[in-house]
Amino acid sequence: MPRYFCQNNPDQLELEVQVLDARPGAVLLGQSPFFPGGGGQLADRGVIEWSSGVLPVERIEPDPRGLWHVLTEPVIVQGSVLAKVDPEFRHLMCELHTMAHVLNSIVYRDFGGALLTGAQLAADGTFRVDFDMPGVYPDWLRALDAPLNDVIRQDLPIRTFDMPWIEAEAEAGLFRSKSVSPPQQEDGSVRIVEITGLDRQACGGTHLTSTGQARPVRILKVDNKGKQNRRIRVGFVS
């Protein structure tokens, strides 16, 4: 998988770039600040601005050459464009994604290495995470409010770095999903996200730079989804 611009430049939300290819209502950009979606994180929202117009990006389609930005009208855009990511929506995704890691790490630590079977962030400011953990009662999981908010209070720094895939595979706990491994980068490495003192795991998404930037959260719901699967839904208190 190619490295996304946003992974190395998470704070740069605007980028002026030449259109590589175009079709009615879509432009292909070789470099783009947009996160294309994946791993349960929604694609960034934002706009494409060019010399004679501006249109919202409806969705992103990955291509070996870059990212197609599908626009809301069938225009043909060529030349240079300014790709602009919506900062509020990006921040919300970073906040939800970071708290999904925190939840995931607490569950992994406290419930015998329970692995993820699914995760989805939502535009309404909630997320859900599914875990494979038979024999765990929903009430135990409803009590996770306190440790989650404790991690926010501790304001732990978060950093990302690359690790050779083979090394990452050999380290217990870096690959948390039961069924899906995060994609290997073109250079044979995998991206690791570390919450200092709490957790590290392979991930390709966008995150906060410290846990204290997240608002307090609460567990909204815990469901049994099948014999083994527990689904936890989390939202912000305010």
CB of 93 to Zn ion, least distance (A): 10
Q: Does 55 bind Zn ion (CB under 5 A)?
A: no
Which CB atom, from 27 or from 199, has the smaller least distance to Zn ion? 199
Distances 100 to 73, 208, 211 between C-alpha atoms, Å: 35, 12, 11
Among 238, 229, 233, 172, which Cα is nearest to 200's? 172
DSSP state string for 66-92: EEEEEESS-----SEEEEEE-HHHHHH
User: 87 CB contacts (<8 Å, ≥6 apart)?
Assistant: 13
* Phi (first) and psi of residue 31, to 5 degrees: -125, 135
Q: Does 192 bind Zn ion (CB under 5 A)?
A: no
Q: Taking CB under 5 A as the rule, which mask of x and - marks residues 74-103 in contact with Zn ion? A: -----------------------x------
Number of residues that bind Zn ion (CB under 5 A): 3
CB of 102 to Zn ion, least distance (A): 11
- Do 120 and 127 form a contact (C-beta atoms < 8 A)? yes
Which CB atom, from 10 or from 33, has the smaller least distance to Zn ion? 10
* One of 47, 94, 203, 214 touching Zn ion (CB under 5 A): 203
Q: Does 205 bind Zn ion (CB under 5 A)?
A: yes
Which CB atom, from 149 or from 206, has the smaller least distance to Zn ion? 206
Q: Does 10 bind Zn ion (CB under 5 A)?
A: no
- Do 143 and 150 form a contact (C-beta atoms < 8 A)? no
Q: Does 182 bind Zn ion (CB under 5 A)?
A: no
Residues making contact with Zn ion (CB under 5 A): 97, 203, 205
